[in-house]
Each structure stands twice: as structure tokens, then as C-alpha cells.
Amino acid sequence: MRMYQSTAVRVDAMLEDLRTLVEVESPSRDLDALNASARAVAAVIESRLGGQAVLVESQAGPHVHWSGGGEPRVLILGHHDTVFPLGTLARRPFRVEGGRATGPGVFDMLGGLVQAVHGLAALDDLSGVEVLVTADEEVGSGSSRALIEERARACGAVLVFEGAADGGGLKTGRKGCGTFEVVIKGRAAHAGLEPEAGVNALVEAAYQVMDIAALSRPEIGTTVTPTVASAGTSDNVVPAEATVLVDVRVESAGEKERVESAMAALGPRLDEAEIVVRGAVGRPPMPESASAQLFEIARRLLPGIEGKAVGGGSDGNFTGALGVPTLDGLGAVGGGAHADHEYLVVDAMAERAHLVTGLVNAIRDGRTF
């Protein structure tokens, strides 16, 4: 199968749209910024695809939904929120130099959104295509998950435009992931006069960190990693409270259940200490079986492209876990997600846009299912 393209995409036009989106900063949870960003995304979609992009209001900010009409067949999925605080653009403005585009969000994932829209614009017919761009992926997708799952079920196939894997590969599987917060309550006392009268929350936290880390099973892909800890108020006071944050990644539903049960069962080692555990593996694993059919189509469209299972999570976790065929990592080729050196490879933009065109046609023609 050869790469389908009815209309050649223009890289200069893609870069123009990418500049437009990058220059509207969109940090998660900043509702004013996200409102402006959603309007910018909607305007780009409407200018390239026609029709009307609807802003779906939520507590996390507006999600953008567009439909080409007809029976739903494929969902194009992305997000417009970014991790960078307001003011980042002034320090790191959008630039195109040496074959790379740089600026906050170019790789994760504004470049992917632009490629998706221009790939769709190359189609002669947009029926059966839906686009959903959410406002809260970077903070867990709490307000968008139900909508994502509803549209994924309705469409029956999902293409996710998160940044590509290393070397430009597609993401064929993802670990389930989540964060836990462990709060330890002790009792304060003077550290010099009567430390025995206190209950040292920091000492209890040290015990808990070791117990938590022991839950890891790296040989089967499970990592349970204490990442942030805080305790104490002064060097001469027995700490009355401590907090430990824990990052969890799992490859199977069974491991999700095991780790969640073990975290909930954590108990204090010191007399009179108390422990409260909050959190869960909020994104279920995306099994590689969910991407198998779509990845085979992608390999026929773009021979030599590789697939890789990765540890990071995305909204593809939700759709893949439902059993809806899902292919991820279709976005920008580049790197440096969430970092100051974030970049997008300009020369890869046209090829990735045409991959969108080919995949959508294959899905609608019934070549995958």
C-alpha cells in the first residue's frame, strides 16, 4: 500500500498554524489561558477543515470538538493544554532554525494537532471523522475522560497525536500510570527536651518509603517510585506531619489492582502514627493488542516505521483499555517534552500529515476491521 495523498500539504502553512497555537500560552488549570487556547484551536480547525468546532465547557477549561458529519468512524484525539507556566513564551519564543521548530508545546503536542488537521485537510471527504482536543490531559483528564470514552466507543477507532517515540516511531502500548499521596500524621515535641513525647512523622515516612519501593516488580514492568517527600517545620521540633508522593507504572490490569490494594493497606510502624493514602492508577494500561491492526496499516503506508511500548501515559490509555483500536505517537517527530529544549523536526511534518490521510482512508474503507 502506498502513502495516500490527494492534496499535497504545505509545510509553510503548518508552521504558520503552529506559530499561532504556540503563541497562545495554555498552562493546565489556567482557565483564562485555556479559553483563549481553545478558541485558537477551533479557529485553526475551522479555517482548514470548514464546519464548526464546538467548545465543550468543563471545570478544567474548554474541550474542542469537531465533526465531519456522517456515521462516526475515526476519532482524532489530542490536547491543547501544556505544562509551561505563563511567561515561558517570552523567554522561549517560537522559532524555526536549523530544521527545528522550538517553543513551549511544539512537541507536546501542538505540532501533532497541526499535522493532524493538515492531514485531514488533504482528504476529499471528511465524513466519519471527529476531532477532540481536550483541555486537561496534562493533569489527568479528570473532566474529559467520560467524553473521550464516549466518542471513542461511537467512532470505533482512535488516532492519538501525542509526540512520536524516539526516532519517530509510533507508540503501540503504554503503561498504566498514577500518583499516590501518602500523608503521615505524628505528634510534635521538643527535639532536645523531650523527643520521646513526640511521634516522629519523618521516621515513619522513612519506613513507608522502603515498604512502598518494595512493591516494584521491574521484571514484569511494574515500577513504584517514591518521588517527592516533605516533613518537619524546624530543626528542633519532632516532625508532626510528613508527605510522600509516589509514581506508579504498570503494564497489566492485574498489577494495577495489586499495587492499589497494597497502597491502601499501608499501615504505621510507630505507635500512635497515622497514615492516609490517596490516589490510584488513574490511567489504565494501553495493551499492545489495541494498536496491532492500526499499526500494521501504518507500516504498509510508511514502510520502516517502528512501534514501541512506552512508560508514559496519554488519553490513548483510556481508549485502548476499552478495547477500541488505538494508535498513539502519531504527532510531531522531535523530543524534549516538558523541557526547555523541546523541539519538532520540520522535515518530518509533511510525511506525518500524509500518514494521517492514509490511516483515515484505510479505516473508512474497512481495511483495518
- Taking 70 as the pLDDT cut, the residues of the chain under it are 1-7, 367-369
Domain residues for 326?
11-175+285-364
- Count of alpha carbons within 13 angstroms of residue 304, beta-carbon side: 5
Identify whether residues 266 and 334 lie together within a single domain.
no
Number of domains observed in the structure of the chain: 2
CA distances from 144 to 38, 277, 318 (A): 14, 25, 11
**Could you give phi then psi for residue 196, rounded to 5 degrees?**
-70, -15
User: Do the Cβ atoms of 27 and 102 come closer than 8 Å?
Assistant: no
The domain that holds 19 is classified in CATH as: 3.40.630.10
Residue 2 inside a domain? The answer is no
| Final residue of a structural domain among 222, 255, 283 | 283
Identify whether residues 154 and 294 lie together within a single domain.
yes
| Final residue of a structural domain among 283, 307, 339 | 283
Identify whether residues 42 and 137 lie together within a single domain.
yes
pLDDT computed for residue 366 by the predictor: 85
| Final residue of a structural domain among 283, 316, 332 | 283
Counting every residue, how long is the chain? 369
H/E/C letters for each residue in 308-368?
A: EEECCCCCHHHHHHCCCCEEECCCCCEECCCCCCCEEEHHHHHHHHHHHHHHHHHHHCCCC
pLDDT computed for residue 4 by the predictor: 43
pLDDT computed for residue 8 by the predictor: 78
